[in-house]
Amino acid sequence: MKKILYIDGDGVGPELVAHARRVVDSLVKVEWVQGEAGYATFQKSGTSLPDETVQLAKSSDAILFCAVTTPPNIPDYRSAIVTLRKELDLYANLRPFHSLPNVPAPFPQLNFAIVRENTEGMYSGIEGQKGDRATATRVITKKGSERIARFAFEYARKNGLSKVTIVHKANVLRLTDGLFLNAARTVAAEYPSISCEDALVDSVAMRLVKSPQEFQVIVTTNLFGDILSDESSALIGGLGVAPSGNYGEKHALFEPVHGSAPKYAGRGIANPTGMLLSTAMLIEHLGEKSASEKLGAAIRKCYELGVKTADVGGNAKTGEMVEKIVSLL
C-alpha cells in the first residue's frame, strides 16, 4: 500500500487537508502518516520544519500539504515549504490553470500551465545585511535550468501541447537569466516538434491579462513563477481554485497554490478546489489515473451544479462542496 505523508500546516490547512484525506479514502486505499510543519509547529518546538518531518517525507510515496504561515518579522525564520522543497529537491512546480464551469472569469476555457523552478533563483535563501543595506543572491545554474526546461518540454510532449514559452529578464539580469535562457533554448532544440518562444517577464505579466489563451506552457525561474502563478489563478476564479504538484527525481508533494489564508481559517468557507485538484494530481502520481480523472470530473460536475463557495460566486460552505463531490464520486 502506498504511504502518504500529510502535513496539516496552518490557517485553512488543517481543515482542507482533512477534507482531502477523506476524498482520497473514498477513491484509493493508502496508508497515512502525519508530519508537522509550519508556524504552529515552530511555536511548539522552535523549528518550522522538524527533521522528523523531512525523514518521513523521504520515506513516503507522496506528500499532501496545504499551506503554512510564514511570519515576516522573526529573524532567521525560514518558510517550511520553501525549505522542504529544497530538502527533497522538488525542483519542478507544475501549476495547471484550467477554467472551471460556472465560474465568473474574463476568458472562457483557458488551459495552460506554469512550470516554476522551485529550488534556486531568488529563493536560494542567501541573504545578507550590513547596516542599511540588504542583499539577496539569485542563484541560477545550468543544471537547474536544463532540468526545469526539460520538465516543461516533457510535460508539453506528454500532453500533446505544441508550444512552450521561456519567461525571463535576460535583458537586465544578463548573467543569471542569460544562463537560464541559453540552457532552456538548448533543451528546446531537443524538441523540434514543439515550438518555443521566449519572452520578458514584464511583457508576459501583461499578456496574461490581455490574451492568456496565447500560452500553453510557461517555464520560468522561482520568483517569476511564484508571481505569475498567483496572477494566473485570477484568470480562472482566484487562488481558491489553483492546484500544484512539486516534483523531484525521488519525491513529490502536492499542494494548492494559495497560502494559509488566515482570514478564512476555522470558518468553513475556504474554497476546497485548489486543494482537491492537487489531490487529484497526487492520486495520478500514485499511478491511479482513472481515480484521478474521476475526481477531476466530480469537481467539474459540482461546479456545473452550482455548488461552490463564495469566492467564486456561490453560497456553499467548504464542507457542503466536499460532501457534493464525494457523493458524485
230 has catalytic annotation: yes
Place of cell 498567483: 230
240 binds ligand NAI (CB under 6 A): yes
| Local structure of residue 172 (DSSP, 8 states) | T
143 neighbors 181 (Cβ within 8 angstroms): no
CA distance 64 to 71: 22
Asked if 96 touches ligand NAI (CB under 6 A), the answer is no
Closest CA to 299 of 274, 316, 268, 282: 274
Nearest alpha carbon to residue 82 among 226, 240, 277: 226
Choose, by CB under 6 A, the member of 4, 311, 316, 325 that binds ligand NAI: 311
Collapsing DSSP to helix, strand or coil, 321 comes out as helix
Amino acid in position 273 = T
End-to-end CA distance of the chain: 21
Dist CA 16 CA 11 (whole Å): 10
When binding is defined by CB under 6 A, the residue of 261, 277, 291, 302 that contacts ligand NAI is: 261
- How far apart are CB 225 and Mg ion at their closest, in Å? 9
Alpha carbon 322 to its chain's center: 21
271 makes contact with ligand NAI (CB under 6 A): yes
CB of 195: closest distance to ligand NAI in angstroms? 32
Catalytic annotation, pick one of 61, 86, 89, 230: 230
Residue 69 binds what, of Mg ion, ligand NAI, none (CB under 5 to 8 Å, by partner type)?
Answer: ligand NAI
Choosing from 37, 68, 148, 307, the residue that interacts with ligand NAI (CB under 6 A) is 68
From candidates 24, 30, 37, 81, binder to ligand NAI by CB under 6 A: 81
Look at phi and psi of residue 113 and say left if phi exceeds 0, alpha if psi is from -120 to 50, else beta.
beta
> Minimum distance from CB of 222 to ligand NAI (Å)?
13
- Please indicate whether residue 25 is annotated as part of the active site: no
Length of the chain: 329
* 237 lies in the binding site for ligand NAI (CB under 6 A): no
Cα 292 off chain centre by: 17
Q: Which is nearer to ligand NAI, 116 or 150 (CB)?
A: 116
**Is 67 a residue that touches ligand NAI (CB under 6 A)?**
yes
Backbone angles phi, psi at 256, to 5 degrees: -70, 165
What is the nearest approach in angstroms of ligand NAI to the Cβ of residue 191?
30
Could you say whether residue 229 binds ligand NAI (CB under 6 A)?
no
Instruction: Please indicate whether residue 202 is annotated as part of the active site.
Output: yes
Catalytic residue from among 10, 39, 169, 198: 169
Is 251 one of the binding residues for ligand NAI (CB under 6 A)? no
Cβ-count burial 127-140 (b if 16+ within 10 Å, e if not):
eeeeeeeeeeebbb
Binding residue for ligand NAI, selected from 199, 205, 234, 239, defined by CB under 6 A: 239
In the complex, the residues that contact ligand NAI under the rule CB under 6 A are 12, 67-70, 81, 238-240, 255, 258-264, 270-271, 274, 311
| Active-site annotation, residues | 123, 169, 202, 226, 230
